Structure 1
Amino acid sequence: MALEKLTFNIQPLSNDLNEALKFEINHKTKPLGSLGQLERIAYQLGRIQQSVQLRLSKPTVVLVGADHGICAQGVSPCPQELTWQQMKNFAKKGGGIGLFANLYKLDMLTIDAGVDYHFSKEDKVEDYKIRNGSRDFSIEPAMTTVECRQAMENGAAIVSKLYNKGCNVIAFGEMGIGNTSPASVLMSQLCNIPLDACVGAGSGLDATGIQHKLKVLNAAISKHGTFEDPFHTLACYGGLEIATICGGILKAAELKMLYINDGFIITSALLVAHAMYPEVLDYTIFSHQSNEGGHKHMISYMKGEPILNLDLRLGEGTGAAMAYPIIQGAVEMMNKMTTFTQANVTDTTKKGITVL
């Protein structure tokens, strides 16, 4: 029996409030368009929330971890036990994402989607494990379609639970040694970009290591081929954390939450989500462009506008966390900055060029 397709009800953004939002932003006491991207962020969030009064509630970073069978082919210079060690660290609010989530007052969850390790209750890593790591996709598909669907359902369930607790803005982070390999293949397949433009150093490969990684991944694609359905592309070449995050992104859009996208691995999950439901981009803000070579091509493919460009390549959701205060600034501008009428200042909106 064929696997029933997982569906989401993602609505395109309404245009009903567009002119009211533009009027409100353009009539703040400033030259027209002078707050640039901040104005576009406020406008997008206003369209998502269908209100000229914006609200960010219980912002949360969901850190999802899993291991990857493709590591058996020597595509990463790092030992695989770093995955579980870092997951424990993150659950204690350690690492880069723990630091920035605490600094910017973001809630944080640590999720095991498929780490090759048994966590105890004391580790405070939430159990959504499908299996102990994906399979080696140079030999066989990384996941069965049943496993891939279950991972996506898990991601959707995690987001629904947060939404029901009052969260309306979400980001994802990831942890999984070797996960730039599935992300690179997903990028190549979904963006129709040659694989050599998608493969980078990951967590520290030298030039010889990058060439070996490219050879392994090319051989995997030659073995399995290309799929018309993005879901089957994800199942064959993806990872358990990537599938979980993909399901979470789609559910966030269905629930009309603001989704803050992070780096290379997370964007591979967004690429799959976008291939399934292009409307997901209406709910997406790109936090940054990372220093991982392929990331700028991913963003360009989806016509995204990153907020930051700081040469980051850490992942973990750190870029999304760093961009959050700027999104807060856009909300404060919309809600609290005086208008020409309120401040009794001469209206200059007939001069200049709007950025909306």
Structure 2
Amino acid sequence: MTVSDQSRLQQVLSDIRPLDAEIMEEAARRLDQLTKPPGSLGRLEEIAKQLAGIRGEVMPELTRKAVVVMAGDHGVCEEGVSAFPAEVTPQMVLNFLNGGAAVNVLSRQAGADVVCVDIGVNAELSHPLLRSRKIRMGTANMAIGPAMTRTEAEAAVMVGVELAQELAGEGYRLLATGEMGIGNTTASSALLAVLGATDPAAAAGRGTGIDDERLRHKQAVIRRAIETNRPDASDPMDALAKVGGLEIAGLVGLILGAAQSRIPVVIDGFISSAAALVAAKLAPLSVSYMIASHLSQEQGHERLLTEIGLTPMLRMDMRLGEGTGAVLAFPMIEAAVRIMKEMATFADAGISGASEREGV
């Protein structure tokens, strides 16, 4: 990444501002005037206030929404850490582009677009709907050396930032993180181990469904990668470069770019949350722009969310990735907006307020 690019990333970080507290107070007052006991809609009310603070409007428009699926390959697959071969990554990218994956089905139901990005797939891909932003043909094997250079990691983060800016310019007002990359739970577990001070045995789970023996091997590979590369826990970009992934870096940038553009970003599962942790370390204020969609089956996911300070909306025992859990949360997030817009106040409905009447 050039010096100019480095300064642009620093500018993005400095552009991220706190939520609009005044608008959030106004949203809270409106919620308390609606025909319900105060706080009775629980998380929906919290989300409604958060969205108002993000967008600077009591009743924001979130009509155009997208899940961004970042795709990249991982050299650590050479160590046999996944139940699937690396060739599955480009095959699944084409499946996304042709509309046949789970995230496509759920996105169609939610009225959302799927934006698929090749940021580091180890194959030459071509498709009219593909956004090609390839930094390199997959990462190197982090078990024997850095996954990528710091320059490459920073460039990948800027890909995500610029994509968030593009989507904001195209009218998208709600984004979600998705990913595809065989081996990426290994990289995500390594990031959790480093940035979350977590033992690899607790950080790494079964990913695509590996057995006990391969799980122990995966944990050992992560330990070896950390010992070999010695990533600096106080420097999230160093950790991202040494034991992360290109698609993870792209999602880091997407989250930061969304926050810069004051757009809410829905965080999917384990891999997306690893990206969210890096983003949170780079820009703590970016956490206010994140909405955690669900708690996955991956054993380190709850630890990741706790480290970031996020509470998941759903518990569906999912572990697919792709952005599927995030897209499932879209209708609930939209419900929070509709409550604000469409629900009558006590005055509108001619109903006595809570202070005048018990049991309302």
Cα 1:349–1:335, aligned 2, differ >3 Å: closer, same or farther?
A: farther
Choose from 269, 273, 276 the match for 2:279: 273
Please give the residue correspondences for 1:53-92 in structure 2 after superposition, counting only pairs within 5 Å.
Answer: 53-92=59-98
Choose from 294, 302, 313 the match for 1:307: 313
For the Cα contact (< 8 Å) 2:231–2:243, is it kept in 1?
Answer: no
Structure 2 equivalent of residue 140 of structure 1: 145
CA distance in 1, matches of 2:24, 2:109: 34
CA distance in 2, matches of 1:220, 1:304: 28
Choose from 11, 16, 24 the match for 1:18: 24
SS at match of 2:176: strand
Structure 2 equivalent of residue 248 of structure 1: 254
Choose from 254, 258, 265 the match for 2:264: 258
Structure 2 equivalent of residue 48 of structure 1: 54
SS at match of 1:247: helix
Please give the residue correspondences for 1:216-235 in structure 2 after superposition, counting only pairs within 5 Å.
Answer: 216-227=221-232, 228-235=234-241
Matched, 1:323 2:298: no
Identity %: 38
Matched, 1:161 2:166: yes
Unpaired runs of at least 5, structure 1: none
Unpaired runs of at least 5, structure 2: none
For the Cα contact (< 8 Å) 1:187–1:268, is it kept in 2?
Answer: yes
For the Cα contact (< 8 Å) 1:32–1:349, is it kept in 2?
Answer: no
**Alignment-mate amino acid for residue 150 of structure 2:** T
CA distance in 2, matches of 1:106, 1:341: 35
User: Paired residues, what number?
Assistant: 351
Matched, 1:290 2:300: no
After TM superposition, the runs of 4+ consecutive aligned structure 1 residues lying more than 2 A away are 1-6, 349-352
Structure 1 equivalent of residue 208 of structure 2: 203
Deviation for aligned residue 1:17: 2.2
Structure 2 equivalent of residue 127 of structure 1: 132
For the Cα contact (< 8 Å) 1:18–1:47, is it kept in 2?
Answer: yes
For the Cα contact (< 8 Å) 2:71–2:179, is it kept in 1?
Answer: yes
For the Cα contact (< 8 Å) 1:187–1:298, is it kept in 2?
Answer: yes
CA distance in 2, matches of 1:79, 1:297: 28
Structure 2 equivalent of residue 105 of structure 1: 111
**Alignment-mate amino acid for residue 220 of structure 1:** A
CA distance in 2, matches of 1:79, 1:230: 29
CA distance in 2, matches of 1:193, 1:351: 52
Structure 1 equivalent of residue 179 of structure 2: 174
Deviation for aligned residue 1:323: 0.5
Cα 1:190–1:349, aligned 2, differ >3 Å: closer, same or farther?
A: farther
CA distance in 1, matches of 2:160, 2:168: 12
Cα 1:349–1:156, aligned 2, differ >3 Å: closer, same or farther?
A: farther
Matched, 1:237 2:252: no
Larger RCO (alpha carbons 8 Å, 6+ apart): 1
Deviation for aligned residue 1:57: 3.2
Q: What is the Cα-based RMSD across aligned positions, in Å?
A: 1.6
Structure 2 equivalent of residue 31 of structure 1: 37
SS at match of 1:16: helix
Deviation for aligned residue 1:54: 2.1
For the Cα contact (< 8 Å) 1:155–1:244, is it kept in 2?
Answer: yes
**Alignment-mate amino acid for residue 223 of structure 1:** T
Matched, 1:336 2:342: yes
